[in-house]
């Protein structure tokens, strides 16, 4: 039964050589879905327009999860160390916010996900907000007033221990069509947060701060959120496992392998549902033996097309 490694068995990533990316506050908005973008003579959006490309990228990301994206990121970091292909060698990578502290505060109930086809996935364009006074959230309110649909407001609260957002801000974010709010600091009103937009934070406090200092505004600088740098115009992706940040270019490189990984995992889950063990669908025994002997080996998935799945689920104990 033939085997294929996760690296060798997956298609090479498609690199868009014409991709254009800028972190300039004035130039990234048209390129990332804000504004009309380039139009053809017939009044249609130009397919080569970065705004169109990124809308398609974010639409594809909605069907993924942080796990496969992290697996793909790990793969491409390894490739970048050994490849001579400039586009792969310059891979910047995705950045994972601290998973032990950055928490989704308003996950959808499971019955809504199953019955209504909704999702806890958050994917949108980063709009950054740096507070300059501890425990004062006027800057968040100001930044929120400058946001647009499909944005994710990313806030560094300047070490605040009092809440800088709550149910009112979440409701306004949902009204504006924001994909999410991500705060390095505390929020409150957890039970009343709108489920129409995702809200992440590193802390919870029922005690609200003051509203006296406007701060730096929006998209003035990158911010540190969850231990990683977030630039204006970055893509922010989140689910119940955590939050990833990266340039649109990095996500466009990662997405192909992530989709392949998710497809393989679905096949493995289906195989186990039909009674085939996870170990039988890998080279587990051979891998264990080779590692015991000190030989190089990789845990590999077998060619699932050659595995015979039973028609009915088997209950094997």
Cα within 13 Å of Cα(216), Cβ side: 16
For residue 151, give every residue at least 6 positions away whose Cβ sits within 8 Å of its Cβ, in sequence order, or none. 124, 125, 126, 127, 176, 178, 179
Which is nearest to 54 in space by CA: 248, 267, 287, 276?
Answer: 248
Q: Is 189 assigned to a binding site?
A: yes
Helix axes 50-61, 248-273, angle to 10 degrees: 30
Q: Which of 226, 272, 266, 268 is nearest to 64 (CA)?
A: 266
Does the annotation flag 188 for ligand binding?
Answer: yes
Q: What are phi and psi of 106, to 5 degrees?
A: -135, 55
Concatenated DSSP letters of 168-207: HHHHHHHHHT-SEEEEEEEE--GGG--SSSEEEEEEE-SS
Report the alpha-carbon distance of residue 306 to residue 4 in Å, rounded.
Answer: 12
- CA atoms of 151 and 149, how far apart (whole Å): 5
Q: Please state the residue numbers annotated as binding site for substrate.
A: 188
Q: Please state the residue numbers annotated as binding site for Mg(2+).
A: 189
Q: Please state the residue numbers annotated as binding site.
A: 188-189
């Amino acid at each position: 039964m033939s085997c294929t490694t996760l690296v060798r068995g997956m298609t090479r990533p498609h690199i868009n050589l014409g991709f254009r990316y800028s972190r300039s506050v004035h130039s990234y908005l048209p390129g990332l879905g804000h504004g009309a973008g380039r139009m053809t003579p017939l009044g249609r959006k130009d397919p080569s327009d970065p705004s169109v490309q990124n809308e398609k990228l974010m639409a594809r990301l909605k069907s993924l999860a942080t796990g496969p994206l992290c697996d793909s990121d790990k793969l491409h970091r390894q490739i970048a160390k050994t490849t001579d292909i400039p586009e792969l060698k310059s891979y910047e990578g995705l950045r994972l916010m601290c998973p032990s502290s950055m928490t989704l505060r308003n996950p959808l109930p499971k019955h809504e996900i199953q019955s209504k086809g909704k999702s806890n996935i958050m994917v949108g364009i980063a709009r950054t907000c740096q507070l300059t006074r501890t425990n004062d959230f006027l800057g968040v309110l100001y930044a929120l007033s400058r946001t647009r649909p499909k944005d994710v407001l990313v806030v560094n609260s300047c070490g605040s221990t009092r809440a800088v957002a709550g149910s009112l801000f979440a409701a306004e974010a949902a009204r504006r069509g924001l994909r999410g709010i991500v705060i390095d600091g505390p929020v409150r009103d957890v039970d009343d947060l709108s489920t129409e937009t995702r809200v992440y934070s590193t802390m919870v406090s029922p005690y609200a701060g003051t509203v006296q200092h406007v701060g730096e505004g929006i998209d003035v600088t990158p911010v540190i959120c969850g231990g990683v740098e977030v630039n204006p115009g970055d893509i922010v992706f989140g689910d119940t496992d955590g939050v990833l940040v990266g340039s649109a270019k990095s996500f466009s490189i990662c997405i192909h392998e992530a989709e392949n990984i998710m497809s393989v995992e679905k096949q493995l889950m289906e195989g186990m549902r039909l009674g085939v063990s996870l170990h039988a669908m890998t080279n587990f025994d051979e891998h264990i033996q080779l590692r015991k002997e000190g030989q190089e080996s990789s845990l590999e998935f077998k060619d699932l097309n050659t595995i015979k799945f039973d028609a009915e689920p088997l209950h094997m104990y």
